[in-house]
Structure formats: C-alpha cells, structure tokens
Amino acid sequence: MAEVVLQGFGWRHAGRRAWAVRGLDLHIQRGERVLLLGPSGAGKSTLLAALAGLLPEDSGESEGTVTVDGRDPRDRDRAGLLFQDPQTQLVMARSGDDVAFGLENRGVPAGEIWPRVSDALDRVGFPYPITRQTHALSGGEAQRLALAGILALQPGLLLLDEPTANLDPAGGDLIRAAVARSCDRDTTLIVVEHRVEQASPLVDRVVVLAPGGGVAADGAPEVVFAGHGPALAEQGVWVPGYPLPPHRAVAPPADPLVRTEHVSVGHRLPPTDLDVRAGEVLAVTGPNGAGKSTLALVLGGLLAPTSGRMSAFGDPKPPHRWRAATLTQRIGSVFQSPEHQFVTGRVADELAVGPRRLGRPAAEVTAIVAELLERLRLTALARANPYTLSGGEARRLSVATALATRPRLLVLDEPTFGQDRRTWIGLVELLAQLRDDGHGIVAVTHDDAFVTALADRVHDLAPTSAEPLPRRRPDRRPA
C-alpha cells in the first residue's frame, strides 16, 4: 500500500515554456482508488510519470514536492505503470517470460519468480498457458498480460494511463474486471481514463486537474459530477449524461470515391465489399483483430490487397499502384499509432509538409497551418516537437496532417482516441464540415459517441477467426 503526497508540485518538461502540471496539492491515502481526469494536455500522464519515478531530474524543472510513502518516487520501486498501448509493453516472445522479465529485472529470487508469474496471470484471468506466443494475442489479451507483468511486481501504487483506449468494448471490460479483481485493499490505484462512465465503477474518488494548474474538483464521483457538472463539461471532462451535438449529413452522398469487391488481405482481412462515397462519413467497426486497420491501409493505398478488385477515383490502377504524389493529393491517411507518422521536429512544420510538397504557395501554406492549429487546439504547441506531445495532442496532430492537403478521401484509424470532450467536439465539427464540403471520410472506430454523432453509414467487420494475427507495419508511407 502506498500513500501519495503532493505539495505545490509542478513539472515543466525541458524545452517547454509552459508547466505541464503546477500548483498541485493532493493527498491520496493508502488503498484509495482515484480516477484522475482533466482536459487533453492538462498533465495527467506527466503526473503519473512523476509518481512512477520516471521523470529524471535532468529532463525538466520541478517545483514543490512529490512523495510516495514519504520518499522521492525515483528512489524506490513502489509503483507500477500501465500505458494505453499493449503492443509497446510486451518484450518477450512467450507470455510467461514476459511477466517473469520484470521480476528478474528487479532481482527477485529465482525460486519466487514462477509462483508469482502464475499468480499474476490468474489474477487477470489470462486464458492461455505460459508458453502462449505474445504476438498471437488480441489487443485486450495483450493488455491483460501487460497488467499481469505489473501486478507480479506487487506495486503498492498501481498507475493506469488510459489502459483501455486501444481496446474494443469487450477488451476494455476484461481489463476493468481484471483491475477490479486484482486491486485488493493493499493497493492504491490511480487511473487516467477520459471516458468517465466506464471507469467510475472502479474508483471511490475523482480528482480533476485544472488546465491552468491545480485541482478543479476533488471528491466522490457523484458529488463531483453533481456539483460541478456544467463547468467540468465546458472544460472538456466527459461528465456522464451530457449530450453531444449530432452532425449528420444534410445532403445525400455523391458518387463512390472507392469501391472494393471481395478485397482481402491474407488472413488479416476477409473478403470485403464496400463503397466509400463523397459527402459521407463511413464508420468501420468491429472487435480487435477483425481487420479494421488492415482495411484502412488498403483503402488508403498503403497496402496491396491479396485478392479481389478495387477501383478508385476513376483511375485504371488501384490506389497502392499510384505515384506517391497522386496518392497524397487524393487520399489522406491517419494510422492507429500516430508516433510512427511524424517526420519533422516541429508541430507547425509537420502540418506544412504535405501542402508544401504539393507546391502550394507559401502564404497559403501558412494560412492552412494556422487554421488547423487553431481548430484543433494546438496553436500553443506550434513550435513543440511532435514526439513530446501528450497522447491526445499527438492524435490531433496526426489527423491535422492528413487534413492539411485537403484530400478528397480521408481514411482515419481511431481519429478521436484520447480526446477530451472539448477537443472531441472540435474534431467532430471539423470532420462534419469536410464531409459537407464533399469529402469522403472513412473512420475506423471503437468510439460509440463518434458513430452516433457523425457516421452516416456503418460497416461492421466480423472477426476473421478466433486467432488474431500479429500486426504489421504499413508497406509504404505516404510521401
């Protein structure tokens, strides 16, 4: 069990003028379960990193104090931190070895390792033997394994940073059930999760970070949301029960931009028949492992189908055969993990790359960049390095780069992931406007609110098989 005390705590990342968190006074008792909320960029992940001892002194400037059980969190391994992307957290080929790895690293005696591995796997309800290959796990299973790796360390302080953001609803339920089961009274829990409704049952206290520093609200969930509901929703918190504006198309869709006939990719995508029309938002849904991201890569011209026929933009050649410049002009893609997509050292430069490549005049490039920065709430970050953005900021930047060339067709893989209520509304309004201007939009999504507010049509992909396949990187990137 661990007790957390913050007194006037602040942290400013090296190279940033603004403080990521500031003026935080917080006392979390042993065994408490806290949901940490706040707008995108409010400093939630930074705070968890501080509590996990993952902010080295030379990586920024600090203010005030932070202690876990009275000590600097960098001094002791009291915390275990789970991130949102399961794939980046597994290191070993076999599941059991992955859990054992962390124990070996911390110098746990050999005789204790395997009993602790099997206990941790039991606690998360891992359904396979320890020899199971990690690459053959679905997203939800991989995340449960990563959680087991952390529980095996028996952390007094369990920190979860949007642990279900990458999962389908069923996978998210499995993780929450595993957390509820394994968080006994000996564990202090702090979980960051934008979608309040899903996380609330896990916690007994909600702490909302204010964008300018300090705490905006703190207390039992019912009390916080009853007392501060409208103000918090305005700040970007997903307060349960606050409706979202719908953005359905007013005009009927135009002609298909892309048509697939029985297009498939090995075992990754079953034969798929699909039209994507101008002036329409098509949502592609389905469980983890169903082939949604593969379909997005195919529609984006970044992956060749292995069978079937595909036609697009009246071109005799299918999109994956087009020249890079043609592809950029016609189709803009956003991948599932934005980190793989950034190519420059500054947010504003990142947005300028596409329009410059298409030979747009400098003044027009500047105007495009400024407008996108503003609409996606990134203006203050124009000079920041894309690789240092928060999760939600990085996602908005990757969507913005795809919009910058104003391609007729947009293929977006989980466009709204990691967004707070306010940035979410901004993003949805922007996409609605593009759709109404005659662009076609395909969005792979687990986000029900997005489907309800914006989708004109839904294509649901059934799972390919019980055995999800390892993910592959795109065969080629947009130029």
Ligand X SMILES: Nc1ncnc2c1ncn2[C@@H]1O[C@H](COP(=O)(O)OP(=O)(O)OP(=O)(O)O)[C@@H](O)[C@H]1O
- Least distance (Å) from ligand X to the CB of residue 424? 11
- Least distance (Å) from ligand X to the CB of residue 389? 5
Interface residue with ligand X, options 63, 136, 388, 457 (CB under 6 A): 388
Q: Is residue 46 a contact residue for ligand X (CB under 6 A)? A: yes
- Least distance (Å) from Mg ion to the CB of residue 49? 9
Query: Residue 43: which of Mg ion, ligand X, none does it interact with, CB under 5 to 8 A by kind?
Result: ligand X
Q: Any idea what DSSP says for residue 453? A: H
Whole-number Cα distances in Å, 267 to 222, 300, 311, 333: 46, 19, 22, 22
**Which one, 237 or 290, has the nearer CB to ligand X?**
237
Interface residue with ligand X, options 2, 4, 6, 20 (CB under 6 A): 20
Interface residue with ligand X, options 319, 391, 407, 478 (CB under 6 A): 391
Interface residue with Mg ion, options 26, 32, 37, 45 (CB under 5 A): 45
Unique residue bearing structure tokens 């949901």: 35
Fill in the amino acid letter for 138. Answer: S
Nearest Cα to Cα of residue 1 among 26, 25, 32, 27? 32
- Least distance (Å) from Mg ion to the CB of residue 45? 3
Decide: 319 and 258 in contact? Cβ < 8 Å.
yes
CA gap 460, 1 in Å, rounded: 44
Which value, in Å, is the radius of gyration of the alpha carbons in the chain?
23
Fill in the amino acid letter for 123. Answer: R
Interface residue with ligand X, options 99, 216, 282, 389 (CB under 6 A): 389
The half-sphere exposure of 331 on its side-chain side, counting CA atoms within 13 A, is 29
CA gap 153, 99 in Å, rounded: 9
Angle at 126 between CA 120 and CA 127, to 5 degrees: 145
Stretch that binds Mg ion, among 44-52, 324-332, 377-385, 471-479 (CB under 5 A): 44-52
Interface residue with Mg ion, options 139, 319, 386, 391 (CB under 5 A): 391
Q: Is residue 41 a contact residue for ligand X (CB under 6 A)? A: yes
Count of residues that bind Mg ion according to CB under 5 A: 3
Stretch that binds Mg ion, among 40-48, 238-246, 371-379, 403-411 (CB under 5 A): 40-48
Alpha carbon of residue 365 to chain centroid? 28
Decide: 374 and 409 in contact? Cβ < 8 Å.
no
Is 384 exposed, middle or buried (CB count within 10 Å of its CB: 0-12, 13-18, 19+)?
Answer: buried
Interface residue with ligand X, options 4, 6, 24, 45 (CB under 6 A): 45
Count of residues that bind ligand X according to CB under 6 A: 21
Point out the residue whose Cβ comes nearest to ligand X: 392
Fill in the amino acid letter for 104. Answer: E
- Least distance (Å) from ligand X to the CB of residue 54? 10
Q: Is residue 390 a contact residue for ligand X (CB under 6 A)? A: yes
Binding mask 413-452 for ligand X (x = CB under 6 A): -----x----------------------------------
| Nearest-10 crossing angle of helices 95-105, 110-123 | 130
**Which one, 13 or 406, has the nearer CB to ligand X?**
13
Task: Locate 188 and state its tokens.
Answer: 């202090």
Task: Locate 270 and state its tokens.
Answer: 């079953």
**Which one, 44 or 268, has the nearer CB to ligand X?**
44
Nearest Cα to Cα of residue 289 among 260, 267, 272? 267
Q: Is residue 337 a contact residue for ligand X (CB under 6 A)? A: no
Positions touching Mg ion (CB under 5 A) are 45, 390-391
Positions touching ligand X (CB under 6 A) are 13, 15-16, 20, 38, 40-46, 381, 384, 388-393, 418
